[in-house]
Structure 1
Amino acid sequence: MSQLQNIEAIEKRLWGAADLLRANSGLASNEYFMPVMGLIFLRHAYSRYLAVKPAIEAGLPSRGGKTRALTKEDFGQQGAIYLRPEAQFDHLVSLPDSADRAAAIIAAMNGIEADYDALRGVLPKAEYHKIANQDLGELLRKLNPEELKTAHGDIFGRIYEYFLTQFADQGAHDGGEFFTPISIVQMIANLIEPARGTVLDPACGSGGMFVQSANLVERNHGDPTKALTFYGMEKNATTIKLAQMNLAVHGLQGNIAEAISYYADPHELLGKADYVMANPPFNVDEVDAEKVRKDPRLPFGLPGVNNKGKVSNGNYLWISYFYSYLSVRGRAGFVMSSQASSAGRDEAAVRRRLVETGHVDVMVAIRGNFFYTRTVPCELWFFDKAKPEQHRDRVLMLDARNVYRKVTRKIYDFSPEQLANLTSIVWLYRGQSDRFLSLLREHLGQAIVNAQASLDPLLDYLERGRALAEAVGRLADENGEPEAQAAQRAMDEALATLVADVAAYAKVVQQQAARPIAENASNATLHKASERLAPLAETSRDLVKAADHLHKLAGHALEALSSEGKGRELSRLRKTADEARKAAVDALKPVRYFHRQALWLQERFPDAELRDVPGLVKLVSWAEIEANDWSLTPGRYVGVAPEEVDEDFDFEAALRDIHIELKGLNEEAVALATKIARNFEELGA
């Protein structure tokens, strides 16, 4: 399940906490989000602390029967921070009303700052004295929901964005600046593959680029604290503190300077950065042209200047800066406004010179609704100054706008498998077919593993369904009504069919499990494996439908018998069976899902080699780019994908989505009406 699927529940709790402070504290609107962020920091740090503590304790050395005490170094190696007992969130939540909670929270913050030099003077402290003791207790409880206890990934950065969005008047959330979606940060990290050296983000915000870079190194079994050095720039002091907190909670450190990146280069990394990652503010038009005219970070010259002496659009300043910071073998990946890739006039001249360096590597188009607070589409740009000679006069155009997962009504992202598939296309471009084949093996292997795992939930559902059918039969006989007896016969028939289908499915699963995907399986072998797994994948889909059908028939039976006093017993049995059905369906769906992920790649790249795929990818020559006004917009080159028939269309699911959409819109309408009424009251209207 995507972490984003919990975001609305988390939002409501956080906004409840914010409302509590707004109503009861002495803090101004531009101050009171920091105390909450400080506690979110403690909560998330504690979650990570608990996640790694068992493994650390298991590996601690003993001498004379006495185990060595935990140290902060132990936790740093596991991407977490050490928390003294008084800084652990459960301790703070459990404080009685008689305790001075503000003093306890401040003591927790002081303890962390004493252990970690990078956090000295960063964590909020004094503000807690302005909050009533009882309100602090309520605040601690509000910030301790199950959703945050199990949160993982860069949830801290997402919460940071939530507060910047809600507290727009606090001044750190300018137009065009917003949190980078985790899927997009992961794609940038996947494609530039930071492994060792200096990582620079000149518009670092809450530090999400650094966190995902470190995660990638960890996935490759490296130690990011030793492999990578992080440098960031940010113009807002409060945002810098949030970034430092975000880094610390992941066991990382970074040198983040307070600076306006248009005018300053505090780290003096011109030509020295191994990796540049960024999501800069888009379309800024207030940069003083005279201040940047002779900047050595603008090797392609200034883009357009308006009659006020301002750079008409700052997008190409950022693009030039990112390019200039790279070392001779450096790679850059960054988010940019979609309009930048085809902008005309002076910006087109800069873009032409940039393309002619031979270092523009990959362009990726992303659809709208990926950003948490914006619906705008964007593009990801990738530079590689060590680009192979055979690709110097080519640019890989990847249009990912048709690849997405709808997480909530407003938010889309990539599933982990979609992200891996898109990344594997770039592997093929780079001649890394072995990685492509490894991913195929992983997808197909997961289909088999999930098929095996689905058997027990299926058998449990059959048992619950049988008990339900027997109860329906008894009550139908007692009832004697034709409608109830018809419902009972329909259930018996459906159950008998499902029992037979599950038995046949189990036999095929066992046969496939006896033929695991070999680690060195060739492309031809993987095609054969995909073909033989296709019936298994389709059967898993059919079983989902059959399980749902039995559930619907039970509903009909319940309606037919609801007038009887014993209908309550039937309802209980149906509820138990329904819980088992949901577990079985959840276990079955990944079987076909993973097979389809493998098939998605195999249909598009059957020879495990890069080729042009309409609507998805094309390797484009300079000549073609020149003929298109030096445009770097992927959609201009890849064409339109052939229309695909949606074999999985589920009318009831679609209707349910529409209901959710309508429910969300109604809730927003009520909230907006309440806000308007409150504003009128404040105006005395």
Structure 2
Amino acid sequence: MNREQLKQLEDRLWKAADDLRANSKLTATEYSFPVLGLIFLRHAYNRFITAKAQIEESLPSHPQRGKRPVNKTDFLSANAIFLPENAQWKTINELPESADVGEYLNEAMKSIEAEYEVLQDVLPKDYVLFESDLLFRLIRIFNDPLLDNVTGDVFGRIYEYFLNKFAMSGAQEGGEFFTPPSLVNAIVNIIEPNHGTVFDPACGSAGMFVQTAHFIEENLHTEASQKVTFYGQEKADTNTKLAKMNMAVHGLDAKIMQGNTFYDDHHDLVGKCDFVMANPPFNVDGVDKKKESVKNDPRLPLGLPKNDNANYLWIQYFYSYLNETGRAGFVMASSASDAGHSEKKIRQQLVETGAVDVMVSIGTKFFYTRSLPCSLWFFDRSKEQDAERADKILMLDLRDVFRKVSSNLHDFTDEQLQNIQALVRLYRGDRGTFNKTLDLYREKSATAFKKAQEGVEHLNNLLGNTSPEVLNLAAEPESNYQNSKRSSTVKEWKVKYTKAVKKQVDSNKNEAKADPSKRGELKRKTGLLEKVLATFTKAVERHLYFDKEIEWLKSRFPDGNYADVAGLCKVVNRKEIKANDYSLTAGRYVGVATVEEDEGFDFEERMAEIKQELKLLNEEAIVLAETIQTDLTELGI
């Protein structure tokens, strides 16, 4: 299943499930955990069936007794969960309409927990809150035939997608358990966790671990369990359960314990971690600093901040957990980068260690429940032992780098994340990623251009005309002209053929009115024209998109080496930081980008952006109207 097919499946499953919630009396919080439990059951059953078939095939056969029955131990070696019969999806799906399905699901979850200590008291058992009709309809949604043969990773992505959507809808403590994928991916791509001990002392739903596993599988082509050991700690009971369930859905092992990290350090990992990643709660007050465990905490080697704010407790924890070559990446309130008084003294000491590696400013609207900007901090303790590296910090200002998902939500595209990673690796002296990224974009651009060429020929055939000047250019070898000329050409194609198809469609409609006997044939021709135009337009837009990404990288780093770029990035030394009152705010150093001249303004591109913004606003208006109508109905109005 490719990414586009998976996206379509995710959207369809979410829409069906969310429509049910909108018509029920349940809040998003009440609804979210049990629905995630159903995804868990469906995924566990797929893995169970696949593993069972593989185990049975590999079992030796006795001449008289045949093959022995499969047992729970067999499933451990197959990295699958053994499911009692009452917890198997086939059994659940075949329940009669008269069954008390809520109570049945509760018992199914209990039977799984009885088999696995790591899942004790983890799985949802609140299904009696649901009306039976609602549960049966949810089961039918997740009985989609497309889910029958998908891999565990696909189910993991679907689980992540639902986690994401529930966070956006305000479920589970305002979405605090879920770090937006863009920020998780940015952190993982920069610290590159590929071996040893990986720790998240504020692990939420374990998103950092899941993305680490994806990173290892995609870059090292091996299972994460072969390379890393995950440790997590989480304060909230619900979030701890979500994390354990998330790891199980992805087939990952992790030692996750519940505890308040300010007072509890269950894993005892000070100085032992290869990688630390986290999105801790910002600006927490009320930490009892009079407790002996806090005053004498070995995780606070740079001192106890005097203010009632825990940001610099977290920052020191992340530093202290690292071993002598360890890396850390974490999300932090923007205010922490410039905080004064005792926090400034701690920050000064951190800078002087040489471990601060990269500081990233992130714009607003990246979180689902708060619109404030944030920063990403990165430590690399191996820098402390290298005088030249210790004196350098990369300041990266990404406040103007984002994709607008909606009027109140931004994220990074996959390409923006790749560009960020390529930039950071240039700073570290690695040109390979930069060149591979450019090669990938060129390949995708060329593929899209070829499809656009094919679209031109197909449309010309359907329209019954030819356009030699366009087709001649399309036939030219790519090396004979610059990308800018090619981009101008495909834009011309798009305008020309959009107009031509519209004209032909209008003509077909008029002809059908004049001669109804031709209506069926003309309708078929119109449908084919519009389908080919849509495919052609998509190829044009994809080509232009990747050309734009190539230009973004090449214009900033033309020779493939790191260089300071006004408004984006700058490498600073400790002397400069001292002169700036030990501020670690990237925008204070990178300056302001050069304003482009008016002739660089792309009218068509801006109109496309406006069109997308209007589409998003219309979609939000529909959702808002439905919410208001639901609220009025519940009030009996």
Query: Residues 118 and 253 of structure 1 are in contact (CA less than 8 Å); yes or no, is this contact kept in structure 2?
Result: no
Query: Residues 365 and 398 of structure 1 are in contact (CA less than 8 Å); yes or no, is this contact kept in structure 2?
Result: yes
Pairing 1:517-596 to 2, within 5 Å after superposition: 532-557=482-507, 563-566=513-516, 568-569=519-520, 570-596=522-548
Query: Residues 203 and 234 of structure 2 are in contact (CA less than 8 Å); yes or no, is this contact kept in structure 1?
Result: yes
Q: Secondary structure of 1:364's match?
A: strand
CA distance in structure 2 between the aligned counterparts of 1:405 and 1:166, rounded to whole angstroms: 20
> What is the aligned counterpart of 2:560 among 608, 612, 619?
608
Evaluate the alpha carbon distance shift between residue 7 and residue 675 of structure 1 in structure 2; reply closer, same or farther with a 3 A threshold: same
Query: Residues 5 and 407 of structure 1 are in contact (CA less than 8 Å); yes or no, is this contact kept in structure 2?
Result: no
CA distance in structure 2 between the aligned counterparts of 1:552 and 1:84, rounded to whole angstroms: 60
> What is the aligned counterpart of 1:392 among 365, 390, 393?
390
Matched, 1:352 2:348: yes
Evaluate the alpha carbon distance shift between residue 41 and residue 541 of structure 1 in structure 2; reply closer, same or farther with a 3 A threshold: farther
- The alpha carbon displacement at 1:361 in A equals 0.2
- The alpha carbon displacement at 1:120 in A equals 3.8
Deviations 1:545-591 (A, max 9, x none): 33322233235435755753548454442232111111122223333
CA distance in structure 2 between the aligned counterparts of 1:595 and 1:62, rounded to whole angstroms: 54
Q: Which residue of 2 is the match for residue 406 of structure 1?
A: 404
Q: Which residue of 1 is the match for residue 470 of structure 2?
A: 501
Q: Which residue of 2 is the match for residue 663 of structure 1?
A: 618
Deviations 1:120-174 (A, max 9, x none): 442224x335545433212223456799998666542453354466566xxx526
- The alpha carbon displacement at 1:606 in A equals 1.6
- The alpha carbon displacement at 1:251 in A equals 0.8
- The alpha carbon displacement at 1:627 in A equals 1.7
CA distance in structure 1 between the aligned counterparts of 2:22 and 2:444, rounded to whole angstroms: 45
> What is the aligned counterpart of 1:22 among 18, 22, 25?
25
Query: Which amino acid is the alignment partner of residue 593 of structure 1?
Result: Y
Evaluate the alpha carbon distance shift between residue 531 and residue 41 of structure 1 in structure 2; reply closer, same or farther with a 3 A threshold: farther
- The alpha carbon displacement at 1:656 in A equals 2.8
Pairing 1:100-119 to 2, within 5 Å after superposition: 101-102=101-102, 105=105, 109=109, 113=113, 117-119=117-119
Q: Which residue of 2 is the match for residue 318 of structure 1?
A: 314
When structure 1 is superposed on structure 2, of 662-671 and 80-89 the one drifting more is 80-89
Evaluate the alpha carbon distance shift between residue 188 and residue 562 of structure 1 in structure 2; reply closer, same or farther with a 3 A threshold: same
CA distance in structure 1 between the aligned counterparts of 2:472 and 2:83, rounded to whole angstroms: 52
Q: Under a length normalisation based on structure 2, what TM-score does the superposition of the two structures give?
A: 0.84
Aligned-residue CA RMSD (Å)? 3.8
Structure 1 residues not aligned, in runs of 5+: 306-310, 467-494, 513-528
Matched, 1:330 2:326: yes
Q: Which residue of 2 is the match for residue 298 of structure 1?
A: 300
> What is the aligned counterpart of 2:379 among 360, 383, 404?
383
Evaluate the alpha carbon distance shift between residue 669 and residue 638 of structure 1 in structure 2; reply closer, same or farther with a 3 A threshold: same
CA distance in structure 1 between the aligned counterparts of 2:59 and 2:541, rounded to whole angstroms: 46
Pairing 1:107-506 to 2, within 5 Å after superposition: 109=109, 113=113, 117-125=117-125, 127-129=126-128, 131-143=130-142, 154-160=157-163, 162-163=165-166, 166=169, 173=173, 177-219=176-218, 220-291=220-291, 292-305=294-307, 311=308, 313-387=309-383, 388-466=386-464, 495-497=465-467, 501-502=470-471, 504-505=473-474
- The alpha carbon displacement at 1:677 in A equals 4.3
Query: Residues 156 and 249 of structure 2 are in contact (CA less than 8 Å); yes or no, is this contact kept in structure 1?
Result: no
Query: Residues 20 and 134 of structure 2 are in contact (CA less than 8 Å); yes or no, is this contact kept in structure 1?
Result: no
Q: Which residue of 1 is the match for residue 580 of structure 2?
A: 628
CA distance in structure 1 between the aligned counterparts of 2:289 and 2:554, rounded to whole angstroms: 50
Evaluate the alpha carbon distance shift between residue 29 and residue 602 of structure 1 in structure 2; reply closer, same or farther with a 3 A threshold: closer
Evaluate the alpha carbon distance shift between residue 32 and residue 184 of structure 1 in structure 2; reply closer, same or farther with a 3 A threshold: closer
Query: Residues 87 and 109 of structure 2 are in contact (CA less than 8 Å); yes or no, is this contact kept in structure 1?
Result: yes
When structure 1 is superposed on structure 2, of 343-352 and 137-146 the one drifting more is 137-146
Evaluate the alpha carbon distance shift between residue 657 and residue 597 of structure 1 in structure 2; reply closer, same or farther with a 3 A threshold: closer
- The alpha carbon displacement at 1:9 in A equals 6.2
Q: Secondary structure of 2:358's match?
A: strand
- The alpha carbon displacement at 1:600 in A equals 1.8
Structure 2 residues not aligned, in runs of 5+: none
CA distance in structure 1 between the aligned counterparts of 2:36 and 2:567, rounded to whole angstroms: 43
Query: Which amino acid is the alignment partner of residue 449 of structure 1?
Result: T
Matched pairs, number: 611
Query: Residues 154 and 182 of structure 1 are in contact (CA less than 8 Å); yes or no, is this contact kept in structure 2?
Result: no
Q: Which residue of 2 is the match for residue 489 of structure 1?
A: none
Query: Which amino acid is the alignment partner of residue 319 of structure 1?
Result: I
CA distance in structure 2 between the aligned counterparts of 1:602 and 1:87, rounded to whole angstroms: 55
Pairing 1:61-76 to 2, within 5 Å after superposition: 72=75, 76=79
CA distance in structure 2 between the aligned counterparts of 1:67 and 1:413, rounded to whole angstroms: 53
Q: Secondary structure of 1:324's match?
A: helix
Identity %: 39
Deviations 1:45-97 (A, max 9, x none): 568889xx69x97xx87999x99999646864xxx767788756576445542
Evaluate the alpha carbon distance shift between residue 560 and residue 595 of structure 1 in structure 2; reply closer, same or farther with a 3 A threshold: same
CA distance in structure 1 between the aligned counterparts of 2:366 and 2:539, rounded to whole angstroms: 28
Q: Secondary structure of 1:629's match?
A: coil
- The alpha carbon displacement at 1:183 in A equals 1.6
- The alpha carbon displacement at 1:244 in A equals 0.5
CA distance in structure 2 between the aligned counterparts of 1:628 and 1:530, rounded to whole angstroms: 50
- The alpha carbon displacement at 1:462 in A equals 3.7
Evaluate the alpha carbon distance shift between residue 465 and residue 49 of structure 1 in structure 2; reply closer, same or farther with a 3 A threshold: farther
Query: Which amino acid is the alignment partner of residue 660 of structure 1?
Result: K
Query: Residues 28 and 166 of structure 2 are in contact (CA less than 8 Å); yes or no, is this contact kept in structure 1?
Result: no
When structure 1 is superposed on structure 2, of 279-288 and 127-136 the one drifting more is 127-136
Query: Which amino acid is the alignment partner of residue 299 of structure 1?
Result: P
Q: Secondary structure of 2:280's match?
A: coil
Q: Under a length normalisation based on structure 1, what TM-score does the superposition of the two structures give?
A: 0.79
- The alpha carbon displacement at 1:331 in A equals 0.4
